[in-house]
Amino acid sequence: MTVSPVDVVVFAPLAPLFGVLLFWLIQLMFIESQKYLLSKIWDQHKPLCRFTNFLGILYQTICHALGYTVTKSGISNFYISINYGKVAPKKEKKGIFEWMSNSFLFIGPFFIPSLLLLICFFLIIGSGIDIAQSMEYTFSEGMINFGTNLYAFSESLFSFLVSIDLLHPSHLGFLILLIFLGMGMRPSYIGEDKRRKVNMLYDLQNIKNHIFHKPLYILILFLIAYIFSYVSVLLKTNWYTSLFSIFGWLSIIAIVALSITHLIILLIKTTDEIPGYWRYLPYLTILLSYTLMRTVFYFFPIEYLETVSLFVMVLSTIVVVFLLLKYKTNKLKTITKMNQLRVEDGPKRSIRK
């Protein structure tokens, strides 16, 4: 197969970059979906929602402080509250240094907290991920290698999560960090008096303004990326794709964290509909079912006991929630009755017409 020089020189470096942008946009949509779910439980769980907002502002402020540290601007003041966060540099630097600091503020929260989790993950599993190697440097081959690297990492991450040992301190700590990341990746609002809503459009607008404020710097970054790609081709390595694959891994960790917190928020929203102390039964089921299964498997060990324990925990919780909704609320009965009325009312409307 003949490889076009234009493909290698112009299009091949764009493949992993497009892959990262795609997963980052998916990450943004998950964040927006989570904010919508949080708005549904705001009235009954205001402290929890305010705490998630604090986590988002905390990550944002730390990333901004890290930007000042990297650019050697120093930090003279660091302020954070539930509604607002601010970092003041010791030295006001302009040009590329100011632009880099703002890059940490606007883009850093999407990747830097995930980097901490990625490091923790590799420390726990005690091994790395095999990077795809290819001697063809084309756009299609770049996308294939990027996808292969993401698949290998996703398989390793999901294999760990479905067999996670909640009685193991490091495993439990990783899960807690994962939840904390998912709960507060981005704040829902900023400001104490005049609250500015933070949504997907707000983030994209800030990033767009940041990019078009200094388009020359973006052009320089593109040139550096292309040069790095050409060096990788000349040395017959896969460094370029591997670097962008790491950014893809960070997005996958963030998406997984957001997915887990989606389930937690949905559980909270659902149990709010259950009256009295019965609403706490699903949470007790989570604890008791897992503890019971691990106790049983301690005396009668089986293969994949961690996975089976997790499966029983999730299944028993779903069953308990369903039974409570059925027998302690009228929600399911009301839905069934409404569906019956719609079916009965349908022929009548047809006759009238």
Measured CA to CA, the distance from residue 244 to residue 328 in angstroms comes to 51
Pairing of strands 196-197, 189-190: antiparallel
- Specify burial of residue 209 (Cβ count, 10 A radius: 0-12, 13-18, 19+): exposed
pLDDT of residue 316: 95
Considering the domain architecture, whether residues 165 and 295 belong to the same structural domain is answered as: no
Measured CA to CA, the distance from residue 294 to residue 308 in angstroms comes to 9
pLDDT band of 353, cuts 50, 70, 90: very low
pLDDT band of 116, cuts 50, 70, 90: very high
Considering the domain architecture, whether residues 255 and 302 belong to the same structural domain is answered as: no
Q: What is the chain's mean pLDDT, rounded?
A: 87
The last residue of one of the domains, among 269, 296, 322, is: 269
Give the tens place of pLDDT for each residue, 157-188: 999 999 999 999 999 999 999 999 999 888 98
Q: Domain of 347?
A: 273-352
Considering the domain architecture, whether residues 20 and 142 belong to the same structural domain is answered as: yes
- Specify burial of residue 314 (Cβ count, 10 A radius: 0-12, 13-18, 19+): middle
Give the tens place of pLDDT for each residue, 246-282: 999 999 999 999 999 999 999 999 999 988 889 999 9
The last residue of one of the domains, among 230, 252, 269, is: 269
Cα 187 to the chain's mean position, in Å? 13
Q: Is the dihedral of CA 254, 259, 263, 269 positive or negative?
A: positive
pLDDT band of 25, cuts 50, 70, 90: very high
Considering the domain architecture, whether residues 64 and 104 belong to the same structural domain is answered as: yes
More confident residue, 134 or 145: 145
Q: What is the arithmetic mean of pLDDT over 139-167? A: 91
Considering the domain architecture, whether residues 91 and 234 belong to the same structural domain is answered as: yes
Is the pLDDT at 93 greater than 70, yes or no?
yes
Considering the domain architecture, whether residues 20 and 75 belong to the same structural domain is answered as: yes
Please give the backbone phi and psi of residue 349, each rounded to the nearest 5 degrees, phi first: -65, -35
pLDDT of residue 126: 82
Amino acid identity at 153? F
Question: What is the count of structural domains for the chain?
Answer: 2
Considering the domain architecture, whether residues 206 and 281 belong to the same structural domain is answered as: no
Considering the domain architecture, whether residues 210 and 341 belong to the same structural domain is answered as: no
Considering the domain architecture, whether residues 227 and 262 belong to the same structural domain is answered as: yes
Is the pLDDT at 336 greater than 60, yes or no?
no
Considering the domain architecture, whether residues 231 and 344 belong to the same structural domain is answered as: no
